[in-house]
Structure 1
Amino acid sequence: MKFRIFIFLFTMAALATAQNVSDENAFAKANTSYTDGNYQEAINSYETILQSGKQSAELFFNLGNAHYKLNQVGPAVYNYERALQLNPSDKEIKNNLKFAQQMRVDDVQPLAENPVKKFLKEMATWLSIDMWAYVSIMMALVCVLTFLLYHYATTTGKKRLFLLLSMGFLIAMILSVVAATYSRNLMEEDTQAIVYSTETVTRAEPKPDADPSFAIHEGTKVTILEEYQEWAHVELANGSKSWMPLADLKKL
């Protein structure tokens, strides 16, 4: 029985290793295609990796770069946004996203935001949800360690120091959990999407013969307020609201 378990574990480990090597080879091949200027070939390779279930900020970033080279505004903005979701603090992703946004036809000026709410939002999205979770775990471990040092400290000065440190790390852990929760709530409350069609004339109602509202173009980011059949009620950053076909959008 022990031998069978060993064989099973060994086989699973070998398969996992082989899969990782295969993914790395596919990613390297896609990067080579990009470096050689074969951008569509690189896009196809990156998309194949995504279809296998593998996701990373670097993968979405490279995919965005390939689309950008082909002047494909919608896919470029979309993939940069996805990369930013996984690595919110990456300056290179932010810079490339700005370049892609400059290619858009629509120049949507955002409404003024409450300074306090804006600050909290920026702090919560400073790290990804997973990173906030890792930070909270680290803070919890250090909190326990410093509390143990406080418990076994032999002098009053050391006890006071370790107690203060333990309380500080406890507060940091709580703030990390709050930030992760707030960041997740923001993502769940606001379903955002990128316009993929070259141009779409939005409608006052969710039907093709309704009165037109305004035209919206590829690469513009919208918030989906609600969905009805094949239509989405969207809001732009400037507060404008209208209906447009869901098929013209790709959700983040």
Structure 2
Amino acid sequence: MKKLLYITIAVFAFVSLNAQQNTERWERANKAYMEDEFTQAILLYEEILSTDEHSAELYYNLGNAYFKTNNLGKAILNYNRALRLNPSNEDFAHNLAISQARTIDKIEPVPQFFIKQWFIYLGRITGTDGWAMLSIIFLTITLSSVVLWLISNRLSLRKFGFYTALIGAVATIGSLIYAQVNYSRQTSYNEAIVMNSAAPVKSSPSVSGKDLFLLHEGTKLRKLQSIDHWSEIQLEDGNKGWIMSTAIEQI
């Protein structure tokens, strides 16, 4: 029992020390950034990430620091990571758009059906935690309305309870779906950013494969599969090919 207690105390002390060190790193990194010492800020932000501490704000600040050092690929990568954790943040989206405007490749996405566009837009209003919280609120409203419908003697209140419960049930299911979609998006690592200044895309996973097209730093793509040192990728316009895995970094 004492041994278990010692281990628990040791773990707690380590976590507390690590949190304190990261707080100090965060403050030093922000100070370095404000003093235009962007390389130092990057090193400190990356140190925090190396301790498995992640947050949208951390990725955003890191993206800003990389942008200031003209590292477009890393900037776009970290803005995307920030948006994964907080998809509704306008500052994140704004800085990402500014960075993407500086990329060489201009990929036109395949047009989407308006219902799908509407579905995606609604899903980005808030993050996974936000949708989960909304589902709890809607579920509470639904259950309360069911109780009102069951116990009320007045017809008007019973009707109100019934229709409110019906709407609440639909809203609860919708919120749960969006929470799951956002969670899957956050934990899916099939999206990546080109890190090299230029990277040829081949027709097959081989240096002898035919050159299909050339991608440049900052371009976003979807990774389909990997074979040896090659990754099969797909662009937003539907074009596919094989690229060296070392030329890209997953979001």
The question of 1:198 aligning with 2:197 is answered yes
Moved more, 180-189 or 123-132: 180-189
Contact (CA 8 Å) 2:85, 2:186: kept in 1 or not?
no
Q: Where does residue 164 of structure 1 map in the other structure?
A: 163
Change (3 A) 1:158 1:23: farther
Moved more, 111-120 or 177-186: 177-186
| Offset at residue 172 of structure 1 (A) | 1.2
Q: Where does residue 91 of structure 1 map in the other structure?
A: 90
What letter is aligned with 1:245?
M
Q: Where does residue 128 of structure 1 map in the other structure?
A: 127
Change (3 A) 1:7 1:206: closer
Q: Map 1:95-174 onto structure 2 (within 5 A).
A: 95-148=94-147, 153=152, 155-174=154-173
In structure 2, distance between residues paired with 1:148 and 1:9? 46
Moved more, 63-72 or 113-122: 113-122
* Secondary structure, counterpart of 2:215 in structure 1: strand
In structure 1, distance between residues paired with 2:144 and 2:28? 45
Contact (CA 8 Å) 1:133, 1:177: kept in 2 or not?
yes
The question of 1:70 aligning with 2:69 is answered yes
1:69-101 alpha-carbon deviations (Å, 9 max, x no partner): 011010000000000111111111110001111
1:166-204 alpha-carbon deviations (Å, 9 max, x no partner): 333222111111222344556678811000111111211
Q: Where does residue 241 of structure 1 map in the other structure?
A: 240
Change (3 A) 1:78 1:189: closer
Contact (CA 8 Å) 1:121, 1:183: kept in 2 or not?
no
Change (3 A) 1:66 1:190: closer
What letter is aligned with 1:250?
E
Q: Where does residue 251 of structure 1 map in the other structure?
A: 250
What letter is aligned with 2:167?
G
The question of 1:218 aligning with 2:217 is answered yes
| Offset at residue 245 of structure 1 (A) | 0.4
Moved more, 25-34 or 74-83: 25-34
What letter is aligned with 1:175?
G
**Count of paired positions:** 251
Change (3 A) 1:11 1:137: farther
Q: Which runs of 5+ in 1 are unaligned?
A: none
Cα RMSD (Å): 2.9
* Secondary structure, counterpart of 1:127 in structure 2: coil
Q: Which runs of 5+ in 2 are unaligned?
A: none
| Offset at residue 116 of structure 1 (A) | 1.9
TM-score normalised to structure 1 length: 0.86
Percent of aligned pairs sharing the same letter: 26
Q: Where does residue 59 of structure 2 map in the other structure?
A: 60
Change (3 A) 1:180 1:17: same
Q: Where does residue 27 of structure 2 map in the other structure?
A: 28
Q: Where does residue 44 of structure 1 map in the other structure?
A: 43
